[in-house]
Amino acid sequence: MSTEQCDNPLHADYYADGSVHCTVEVVENVEVAQDTWRIRFRCPEMASLCKPGQFIMLKITGRDDPLIGRPLAVFDITPDENQVPTDLDAVYLVKGNLTTRLVNVAAGQHLDVWGPLGNGFLPQPTRHLVMVAGGIGQTPFVTLAREYLGLANYGRECPQAESVTLCYGARNADLLAGVDSFESISGLDIKLCTDDGSRGHHGLVTEVLEQVLADDKQIHGSNDGVRVVCCGPEPMMEAVAGVSRQWQVPCQVSLETPMACGIGICFTCVTKVIQEDGAWDYKRTCVEGPVFDAEKIVWH
Ligand SMILES: Cc1cc2nc3c(=O)[nH]c(=O)nc-3n(C[C@H](O)[C@H](O)[C@H](O)COP(=O)(O)OP(=O)(O)OC[C@H]3O[C@@H](n4cnc5c(N)ncnc54)[C@H](O)[C@@H]3O)c2cc1C
Ligand code: FES
């Protein structure tokens, strides 16, 4: 970072200085669950920069509707036969303007993509990493699980965890997306749940989390070394933050606030974050997040 950048109070640690903006070719675009698709595109330059929990901004090349890109988490990073990262996957829920059009994009068509963006999950010593996902919130966790299990290296050192658990909940079985990607990760403990009981535990993902924390405490005598990371709808993240507080386990949340620019300029994406002096201030989720300490978020 240059002196000029350090002197600028708006220059966040994760400003998009190291990001790239490119037009990429779609490799495949397939439905993986109800209203949920996985799109893969070739972008070796960006793929080699991506860290778990970072996101990209994406729009369809040549289309002005929507005019601005939309943020999607990096779901997976695929290497070529020489283990050089070449392709990126995003998994998206069909929701509005971009995603309803994205389902019609076929292999060979092009996207405008800029990234990687945001802080992502920083490597931290962890005995047991518990990843808690709700709805489409599982998307940042494939690469994170691989990294903490020592199965992939994303260009940085990451302390290995003794165990990694995914607690993943959705309204029903049809909406659980990308489960096969998680099942392909050797050593990952997967606990699914659904609101209607159609797959896994019949109930809330917070109930599954409490059971995981209770089992961990019973085996190890305490929850020391456990860390929760969470992504999903905001009420669910607030509830997961509450359970983590109750069990005295640190928790980080990856926020999905709407974004316009993705690079720190427009302040569309602000969220209230408690500062060192105890007062809250607005932080830009795109360049100061999307991952925040759950205890620092003002939820309402
Ligand atoms: C860091 C980050 C990572 C993310 N990762 C993912 C991911 O991996 N996968 C994923 O699926 N999503 C992800 N999201 C969320 C995703 O970016 C949004 O859902 C995005 O808005 C979808 O774009 P869209 O154009 O399809 O929907 P939009 O058109 O932007 O609509 C989004 C929502 O607003 C509502 N809406 C739209 N227009 C109106 C209107 N006129 N009045 C009222 N409501 C309206 C829609 O019903 C919908 O609920 C992420 C968000 C962030 C910030
Ligand atoms: S989306 Fe523009 S500042 Fe964050």
pLDDT in tens, 166-209: 999 999 999 999 999 999 999 999 999 999 999 999 999 999 99
Q: Is residue 223 part of a domain?
A: yes
Q: What is this structure's pTM?
A: 0.95
Contact 280, 161 (CB under 8 A): no
How would residue 298 be classed by pLDDT, with cut points 50, 70 and 90?
Answer: very high
Q: Is residue 39 part of a domain?
A: yes
118 lines ligand 2 (CB under 6 A): no
Q: Is residue 122 part of a domain?
A: no
Q: Of 95, 117, 139, which residue sits at a domain end? A: 117
What does the pLDDT look like over 101-118, one tens digit per residue? 999 999 999 999 999 999
Residues 97 and 223 occupy one common structural domain: no
Share of the chain above pLDDT 90, in %: 93
Ligand 1 centroid to residue 92 C-alpha, Å: 9
Range of the domain at 218: 128-296
Share of the chain above pLDDT 70, in %: 96
Measured from the CA of 36, which atom of ligand 1 is nearest? 11
Residues 172 and 24 occupy one common structural domain: no
Q: Of 117, 143, 175, which residue sits at a domain end? A: 117
| Res 5 pLDDT > 60 | no
Residues 177 and 96 occupy one common structural domain: no
Protein residue with its CA nearest to atom 10 in ligand 1: 92
Residue-level pLDDT at 2:
42
Mean pLDDT of 77-97: 95
How would residue 10 be classed by pLDDT, with cut points 50, 70 and 90?
Answer: low
How would residue 7 be classed by pLDDT, with cut points 50, 70 and 90?
Answer: low
| Res 165 pLDDT > 50 | yes
Q: Of 87, 117, 147, which residue sits at a domain end? A: 117
The CATH number of whichever domain residue 251 belongs to comes to 3.40.50.80
Pocket residues for ligand 1 (CB within 6 Å)?
A: 55, 66, 70-73, 90-93, 95-99, 136, 139, 256-259, 290
Residue-level pLDDT at 182:
98
Cα 78 to Cα 38: distance, rounded to the nearest angstrom: 13
Structural domain tally of the chain?
A: 2
Mean pLDDT of 13-27: 88
Q: Is residue 123 part of a domain?
A: no
